[in-house]
A and B are shown apart, each in its own frame.
Chain A
Amino acid sequence: MKIVVCIKQVPATNNAKIDPETKRIVREGLEAILNPFDTYAVEEAVQLREKLGGEVVVLSMGPEKAGLALRECISAGADRAVLLSDRAFGGSDTWATSYVLSKAIQKIGDVDLVICGKQAIDGDTAQVGPGIAAHLGWTQAAFVMKVVDASATGLRVQRMHEDGYDVCDVDYPAVVTVVKDINSPRIPSLRGRMAATKAEIPVWHPDDIGTDLALIGLNGSPTRVVKTQPPPARNTVTQVMFGSPQESAHALVRELRKRNLL
């Protein structure tokens, strides 16, 4: 079984600045981390490989330094990684990005399953996973919170909804996006870390994966960002209840009732 996990390196901050002209996040000077939701995708892929055998390939589109995030995935158990990096990819929206990723998945070949985190914490769109499925014409299941059963032909999964979950069967080839309830990502082992340090990560360019240049980068991105702004800072107030545990508990209940929270 061949599983591809699509991951993204994102800014490690909730205090990102927006470029007023391009309306995009200013990434310079920000520490970059592996998108937290993607760690669950990697863990699920590794668990499926442990159960069914096969190979886990991690894939990312981004600048050269995104190789660090790919190495982190190898530390966590992935077998190998591929980086898609080229100036021509720059400025791609979620549609163009999912197109590029789908072309890379086709080049990897014989892929049974693609797993993505439900969304990246910088864009929060949750569109890339479903976009990949659309480009490939594969079955998809989004917001998967549990793999109930996994076999060589497909998965039975629970999908999270706002008011509960449903269960559906997904035949391969398929794309699933996962939420953090699905597992507890393992802490990378020393052996994994050493393998990651030594791993050779090929870098693929548009020609390598046969992309249509009209469909990538800014030109290939139908999304037009008209306006973006950081969300307003939360106006939180901290109140400490003093006294004995009983007194402070009573005071807390009074306060919550006063605010109609109880």
Chain B
Amino acid sequence: MRHHIENKVYHVEILPPKQESEKLDADLATFAEKYARVMDSGYCACITDNAMGHLAFQGTEMIAELDLPVHPEQVMIHLNTFHTLASLREILDACKAKGIKYLLVISGDGSERLPKLEPSDIGATGVLSVTSVELLRYIGREYPGDFVLGVAFNPYEPADHEFEKMERKMAAGATFVITQPLIERNAQVDALLAKYPDVPVIVEAWMSKKLHLLSEAVGYTIPEDTAFDPIETLKLLHRTYPKCGVYLSLLGFKTQYPLISETWT
């Protein structure tokens, strides 16, 4: 993952179509188009797993059904704990078969319709529920050496709690970190970089102007009248965190995509 940062490889989030899509064919075509564009740019396509608890199709099945090419350095699959053991295995087996090596392992948001892994499903003991820590351990144990595992860091959670969790995530096999969206320098991210100087950290840049969604993501209210220019914020993050990679969430492919290569100079 370090070479992604050194080579200025953006991590570009792509959301698969939602299960409830009424224009599935068009949504599939859009997904394929975005994916191809990310591949052509040499960036890394990061495919979400039922983001925000919205039921969507899995990245692995999108790649299989649309017959999309996989370049191992250019695909990252998000994987959360809201699966049955069978579907988890299916996803991991598909990733392995396709040569996908980067996984972002997260607890996830879940929803009423999504099943949740039980500790007994993955041989976890001494816990009441499965978190990213147990999922990391499971993947490391069942698929040794097959994947490069990353985890999320939320700088808006109480620091003690978040750093204690991060220690457990690292002990469970995490080798890189992606933060929640940042819009400016963040003291907790600074602390993270100081504490784990050898761990590649990728800061998330929020590329949508929908501030109410950003408020949900960061966990505190950002007033709707806040002046927010995603491209300027992206430049600021590059200046502030020059040793970090950047994850672009909700990127506009029509207007923003042509601009991003010039922002990382």
A186 at interface, CB cutoff 8 A: yes
Q: Is the CB of B84 within 8 A of A184?
A: yes
The minimal Cβ–Cβ distance linking B218 to chain A, given in whole angstroms, is: 25
- Chain B residues, CB < 8 A from A187: 19, 55, 87, 113-114
Q: Is the CB of A190 within 8 A of B65?
A: yes
Which partner residue on chain B sits nearest A189 by CB separation? B61
A191 at interface, CB cutoff 8 A: yes
A193 at interface, CB cutoff 8 A: yes
The minimal Cβ–Cβ distance linking A53 to chain B, given in whole angstroms, is: 18
- Chain A residues, CB < 8 A from B61: 189-191
Q: Is the CB of A193 within 8 A of B24?
A: yes
Which partner residue on chain B sits nearest A197 by CB separation? B24
Task: Say which size band chain B's interface belongs to.
Answer: 10 to 19
- Interface size for A (C-beta < 8 A) is 10
A188 at interface, CB cutoff 8 A: yes
Q: Which of B55-76 contact A (CB under 8 A)?
A: 55, 57-58, 61-62, 65
B242 at interface, CB cutoff 8 A: no
Please report the C-alpha to C-alpha distance between residue A54 and residue B242 in the assembled complex, in whole angstroms. 59
Please report the C-alpha to C-alpha distance between residue A103 and residue B24 in the assembled complex, in whole angstroms. 36
> CB within 8 Å of A: which residues of B?
19, 24, 55, 57-58, 61-62, 65, 84, 86-87, 113-115
> CB within 8 Å of B: which residues of A?
184, 186-191, 193-194, 197
26 residue pairs bridging A and B, Cβ less than 8 Å apart: A184-B84, A184-B115, A186-B84, A186-B86, A186-B87, A187-B19, A187-B55, A187-B87, A187-B113, A187-B114, A188-B19, A189-B57, A189-B58, A189-B61, A190-B57, A190-B61, A190-B62, A190-B65, A191-B61, A191-B65, A193-B19, A193-B24, A193-B57, A194-B24, A194-B65, A197-B24
Q: Given known contacts A184-B84, A187-B19, A193-B57, what 12 new A-B pairs fall within 8 Å (CB)? A: A184-B115, A186-B84, A186-B86, A186-B87, A187-B87, A187-B113, A188-B19, A189-B61, A190-B62, A191-B65, A194-B24, A197-B24
Question: Nearest 6 CB-CB pairs, A to B?
Answer: A184-B115, A190-B57, A190-B61, A190-B65, A184-B84, A189-B61
